[in-house]
Copies of this chain bind each other. A is one copy, B any other.
Amino acid sequence: MIQLNDKKYTCPIDFSLSFIDGKWKILILSHLHYCSNRSYSDFCNNLPGVSEKMLSQQLKELERDKLIIKTILSKKPYRVEYALTEFGKTLTPLYQFLSDWGIQYLKQNGIDYIKDQHLYK
């Protein structure tokens, strides 16, 4: 049992997972990976089904864990943008793998995501 900051983890993987648990975190991170500097509403529009509550909650946790950083662009009109930190970028192989793995498996099920990407908007 690993202990760090009053929390316990059964193994390193369990520890890693603690950064990316929650329904939307990996999707938020990967969106930032493929398209950096996104606004709050960008996420709303590109994460079908996310509720505002979850979005702001997960964004806050990701920010707390230093995986993303929020920059206030202007006070009025109030504008912000989110981006991956250097630390958040160290998870790049994760997004990449999950994406590649999914694409490959979808292909075996007759769905060519790359070729027909425009269909899946």
**Closest beta carbon of chain B to A83's beta carbon, Å:** 19
Could you tell me the distance between the alpha carbons of A47 and B1 in the complex, rounded to whole angstroms?
A: 10
The digit string for A102-121, where 1 denotes a CB below 8 A from any CB of B, is 11011001010100000011
A74 within 8 A of B: no
A44 within 8 A of B: no
Nearest residue (CB) in B for A113 is: B12
> How many residues of chain A get a CB closer than 8 Å to chain B's CBs?
36
Copies in the complex: 2
A15 within 8 A of B: yes
A97 within 8 A of B: yes
Also in contact, A93 and B99, with CB within 8 A (given A27-B14, A106-B4): no
Using a CB-CB cutoff of 8 Å, which residues 20-74 of chain A contact chain B? 26-27, 30, 47-49
**Closest beta carbon of chain B to A30's beta carbon, Å:** 5
- Option from B1, B13, B101, B121 in Cβ contact (under 8 Å) with A26: B13
